[in-house]
Amino acid sequence: MQTKIPISTTYRRIKDLQKNGVLEATGFIMDGVRFNKYKCTKLLKYGKYNPKVKQILSIITSNPGICYNELQENSKIPNGTLSHYISSMVKNAKIIVKRTSRRSWYFLPDTKPSEINLIINLRKETGRKILSFLLLHGPSSFTDIQKSTIKAPATISLTITHLVELELVKRIPGTRPKYELANRDLTFECIKKIEPNTSDKIKERFADTFSYL
């Protein structure tokens, strides 16, 4: 296929693409004449115009903090292929990954560091229930939190301790210590990103509080 671009312009653009690592050139000589063949490098192969890359980016955009298993389920891309693409996209800074002991969580590169731990814990059932409860009710005792989540006290204690260590929740000292969100507005913003329906219900319940959002 001919581009109908002047030879001098084509030559200059090819050189620029080679310089930027987008094209690789191989050559051979026939009858004393050198012929060059060009192919795209991995930089372009895993660029945003690749259909699978576009699909993965679209899923992560709609589901920030999605874990690998959910990403595979949504994309229907075979495990080996998806793993290969994910590794290359992380390497090329198309996405970022936050790894924990059991899972890997994926975000777009422009995700704020302050949002990452919040989103990850909002994607965990117990963490989401605790954070949502504190958003709705403000400073609350351990007993109130435990009753609202219907989880074992040991599970709530472990999760709250973890949230405090991550500075997502603050402990208010007292004879009956209470807990509150470290950043109420940021928590609400993160809920909006991953659970729009839940955030709408919260916004309706506290219309005055969130009237500026």
Rounded Cα gap, residues 157 and 144, in angstroms: 12
pTM over 0.75: no
Residue 159 in this model has a pLDDT that exceeds 50: yes
Residue spans of the domains in the chain: they are 7-41, 46-110, 117-205
CB 61 within 8 A of CB 102: no
Residue 196 token pair: 């729009």
| C-alpha torsion sign, points 14, 19, 22, 27 | positive
CATH class for the domain made up of 46-110: mainly alpha
CB 39 within 8 A of CB 31: no
Out of 32-36, 50-54, 147-151, 192-196, which region has the weakest mean confidence (pLDDT)? 32-36
The pLDDT of 153-182, averaged and rounded, is 95
Question: Residue 24: CA atoms inside 13 Å, Cβ hemisphere, count?
Answer: 8
Q: What is the mean pLDDT of residues 12-26?
A: 66
**pLDDT of 21 strictly over 60:** no
Quick check: 44 pLDDT over 60? no
* Equal fold, 46-110 vs 117-205: yes
Residue whose token pair is 């909006």: 192
- Reading the block at residue 53, the tokens are 């890359």
Q: Confidence band (pLDDT; 50, 70, 90) for 213?
A: very low
Q: Looking at residue 49, what is its pLDDT? A: 64
Amino acid at 122: L
Domain 117-205: give its CATH code.
1.10.10.10
Phi, psi of 141 (to 5 degrees): -80, 165
The pLDDT assigned to 116 comes to 95
Q: Residues near 13 by Cβ (< 8 Å), separated by ≥ 6? A: 5
Residue bearing the bigger pLDDT, 211 or 167: 167
Closest CA to 158 of 118, 115, 121, 113: 121
Q: What are the C-alpha distances in Å from 185 to residues 55, 105, 182?
A: 31, 23, 9
Question: Taking Cα atoms as reference points, which of 23, 74, 16 lies closest to residue 45?
Answer: 23
Looking at residue 169, its pLDDT comes to 97
Q: How confident is the model at residue 10, as a pLDDT?
A: 75
Q: Place 9 in a pLDDT band, splitting at 50, 70 and 90.
A: confident
Residue 174 has pLDDT above 80, yes or no: yes
Q: What pLDDT shows up at residue 207?
A: 47
